[in-house]
Amino acid sequence: MTRQGEKIKSDDGRGGMEVAGESPRSILSSSLLDPTNDFNSRYRAARAYMDELAKPIGSLGRLEDHASRLCALLRSATPSVDDVVCLIFAADHGIAGNAVDGGGMDCSSYPRSVTRKVLMGLERGMAGASVLARANGVHLRVVDVGLASSSPSEEWGEGEEDGEEEDVDMPTTIPRLWSGDSVVRHPSDGTLGVSGGTRNFCAADAMTNDDVDRCLSIGRTETSKFINDARADMVIFGEVGIGNTTTSGALIAALCGISDARSLCGTGSAPYSDGIDDDVDDDDVRAMIISKKASIIDLAMRRHPSLVGDPRGALRAVGGAEIASIVGGMLECSSRDVPVLVDGYIVTTSAMIASMIDPLVTRLLIFATKSTEVGQRVALDEIRRIASANDVPPPVMPALDMRLRMGEATGALLAVPLIRSACAIVTELATLNEVLSLK
């Protein structure tokens, strides 16, 4: 720790030198730069500094946690997240296959083939994540880790499928790192996480142990590469995979020992939630969708009992390739102290699994959006429990509640301006003493 009166390099963005201990900002800077201080010490120092600012204590609510977490992770009293990357993993799920001739459970309102169509939209810059990444200055990359309808030899950027060329007006600016880069790609080593997608977990294990290890490794490798390529300050993870809300429900039920599957189920991407501003308000249809999901999860739990507290086993039994890849990516972020802005239900489920593997992952997490899927709250509570049990400041509840159910990291992309605002608050807001001394 810097001694009282010793000169240190200023971290307040104003240049020059200042005396440690002379101002709240210099005290914060000294604490953040001290290599002997752990995350908790740095976080507490940042929270103490927030209380010195010209505002009622705690008046900026959850934004104060976000600002403090960023200071502690980035080790700076002037944190910034100018370079944010969004890494989306995509894969197909066996339970989403056709029950008649595809060996699946028809768990989704949409056919499994929609997964590939979404990726085509992402490559052409016209999907939801493409639009919101551009709007918020976020670099976008999508990795196919197991689509049923593609193979490593296919090229996403050719603009055609089944021999028919598509005539689509491309946006003038696509969020890529270099001109000509393909947004959608296969893993860097050329091998898919799970070739052809996962199996129907009501009939067999969704993946093998090797599949799980490969997806975790791909997640770590692709995350590391993207962070290095973009010199990223923050990572957003997203997912594309028809059926993955059912998969997430099965993972939470398996890992947390939830016996009532209905308590985890919503309507997924179907246009039904709770009757407020819905596309369709039909309680019977809503009940039918939830009942079907719950019955699939119940069947899966009978097929795969005794997975409580076994994250790798649960991924093998009822997981998804994209979910396992996100878990690997979060583990990589933990090794590098890179903050993670967490999207909705599926990514929250991934965060829960990553936290079970490495409890220190909890220190990275800033939750962007409350999902319409009720199971997200179960996962959030488990993450907060893991953090508290390991003496990590528990992450606060999601910042936004906009009834989103689109996936593709859209909720987290929408929250990027909030996180940049948190950085501005800690960097630019005057302390109370500075305001009181004005003449």
**Active-site residue list:** 408
What's the Cα-to-Cα distance from 148 to each of 62, 80, 93, 129, rounded to whole Å? 41, 39, 8, 22
Count of other CB atoms within 10 angstroms of residue 172: 7
CA distance 30 to 18: 11
Q: What's the per-residue H, E or C state across the chain?
A: CCCCCCEEECCCCCCCEEECCCCHHHHHHHHHHCCCCCHHHHHHHHHHHHCCECCCCCCCCHHHHHHHHHHHHHCCCCCCCCCEEEEEEEECCHHHCCCCCCCCCCCCCCCCCHHHHHHHHHHCCCCHHHHHHHHCCEEEEEEEEECCCCCCCCCHHHCEECCEECCCCCCCCCCCCCCCCCCEECCCCCCCCCCCCCCCCCCCCCCCHHHHHHHHHHHHHHHHHHHHHHCCCEEEEEEECCCHHHHHHHHHHHHHCCCCHHHHCCCCCCCCCCCCCCCCCCHHHHHHHHHHHHHHHHHHHHHCCCCCCCHHHHHHHHCCHHHHHHHHHHHHHHHHCCCEEECCHHHHHHHHHHHHHCHHHHHHEEECECCCCCHHHHHHHHHHHHHHHCCCCCCCCCCECCCCCCCCCHHHHHHHHHHHHHHHHHHHCCEHHHHHCCC
β-pair partners for 235: 85, 340
CA distance 117 to 261: 30
Nearest Cα to 420, choosing from 405, 399, 406, 435? Answer: 399
Both tokens of 381, joined, read 């509570």
What's the Cα-to-Cα distance from 243 to each of 92, 106, 192, 322, rounded to whole Å? 8, 8, 19, 12
